[in-house]
Amino acid sequence: MKEIFADMHIHIGQTESGRPVKITAARSLTLDEILIEASEHKGMGLIGIIDCHSPEVLAEIEKGVASGRYAELADGGIRYKETVLLCGAEIEIYDEKCRGPIHVLAFMPTIEKMKRFSEWLSKRVTNIHLSSQRIYETGLRLQQTVKELGGLFIPAHIFTPHKSLYGKGVKSSLKEVFDERLIDAVELGLSSDTHMASHVSELNAYCFLTNSDAHSLGKIGREYNKLLMKHASFKEFSLALKGEAGRSVAANYGMNPELGKYYQTACESCGRLKEADDGTCKGCGSAKFTKGVKTRLEELYDQDESPVKRPPYVHQVPLQMIPGIGPKTIEKLKEVFGTEMNILHHVAEDDLLGMLRPQTAKLLIKARKGDMELEAGGGGTYGKVKRG
């Protein structure tokens, strides 16, 4: 089996014609640039682009395959150099069973299956060309359709306070909205990790994934997974999620939840982190708060220890968030050591000390070990890495 790094939640900002796809994403996030960044700079062996339902994106993929720039694999996926792309879609559910909107990811095994899914979606969304559209259909029917097409169904960033399964969608159980048998995995999101999520017993049945939800090229790989598979493909990924035939998710690499922008409860008006439970903000007196992931998970906790043996969750700080490492330094490191995955996982400490200022090198080494001091985030503001 091979160790393959995978980031399964990457947005497209625009098509090659300039048509917007994910409105809030950088325009530099085109199909081709994502594949170049993931393969040649980040070192990702498997990626999920979750805007492939857009007809122009599908047309670009088909054009790339026809020209020989990309190749469609027999067991699912599109290869570009050392990286395989799985065609995915992010969809917003808000049916009569939901208490609030829920985002989910659906992956299809082939271009043809994604085209059929896109056609089905187009009759149920306002604009098939845009990302993360609300579907005018039940969550259960969406699940069934994904499965009829041979796809994978994965609730996204499940604890974040906006547009997620537990953050908005349900009171206490995913069974309020979904058929639990038709879920293949769950995505934890930036403000939670395996330790936190393992206190929720109904998640014992599912594999955990950590993905970037990248809205810019630089954010690709800020959270990712290490998979054990024969090679990167849709079929191999499916087996890894099930833990079958020797395939598995071997590790999750993610930011410490305290760095996430929704970790702590914060005032909706001024962003000040909540200090007490008296119901008002100490900064502006507002009584409206955005509930943090930490608080929401504490409401859901129903087991002290999970009976499931989970792979390690490694708290790893992306290169871009380490004090003293800016774009020029990252480029210098990549010129010498190759991809960011190689820098974060394999380059010897002595080599890092030879390339960087001692204080910066020591911070990078601490980042590998999860030993950095942090300032927690909340209310839409990311946490920070302390220089100490």
From 187-201, 252-266, 292-306, the region with the lowest mean pLDDT: 252-266
> Which H or E element spans position 314?
strand 313-315
**Cβ-contact 267, 42 below 8 angstroms:** no
| pLDDT confidence band for 294 (50 / 70 / 90) | very high
Nearest to 47 by CA among 79, 73, 70: 79
Total length of the chain = 388
Q: Greater confidence, 291 or 233?
A: 233
Is the predicted pLDDT of residue 387 greater than 70, yes or no?
Answer: no
Please give the pLDDT value at position 278.
67
Nearest to 192 by CA among 257, 123, 105: 257
Please give the pLDDT value at position 276.
65
**What is the DSSP annotation of 86-102?**
EEEEEEEE--TT-SS-E
**Mean pLDDT of all residues in 101-119:** 98
| pLDDT confidence band for 344 (50 / 70 / 90) | confident
Please give the pLDDT value at position 17.
96
Please give the pLDDT value at position 208.
98
| pLDDT confidence band for 359 (50 / 70 / 90) | confident
Q: Greater confidence, 336 or 118?
A: 118
Is the predicted pLDDT of residue 266 greater than 80, yes or no?
Answer: yes
Which tens digit of pLDDT belongs to each residue from 123-171? 999 999 999 999 999 999 999 999 999 999 999 999 999 899 999 999 9
Is the predicted pLDDT of residue 252 greater than 70, yes or no?
Answer: yes
From 85-89, 158-162, 366-370, the region with the lowest mean pLDDT: 366-370
**Mean pLDDT of all residues in 83-102:** 97
Please give the pLDDT value at position 63.
98
Beta bridge partners of residue 51, listed in sequence order: 89
Query: Would you state the structure tokens that stand for residue 261, as one six-digit string?
Result: 């922008």
d(CA 160, CA 294): 10
Pairing relation of β-strands 83-93 and 133-135? parallel
Is the predicted pLDDT of residue 385 greater than 60, yes or no?
Answer: yes
**Helix/strand number for the chain, H first, E second:** 11, 17
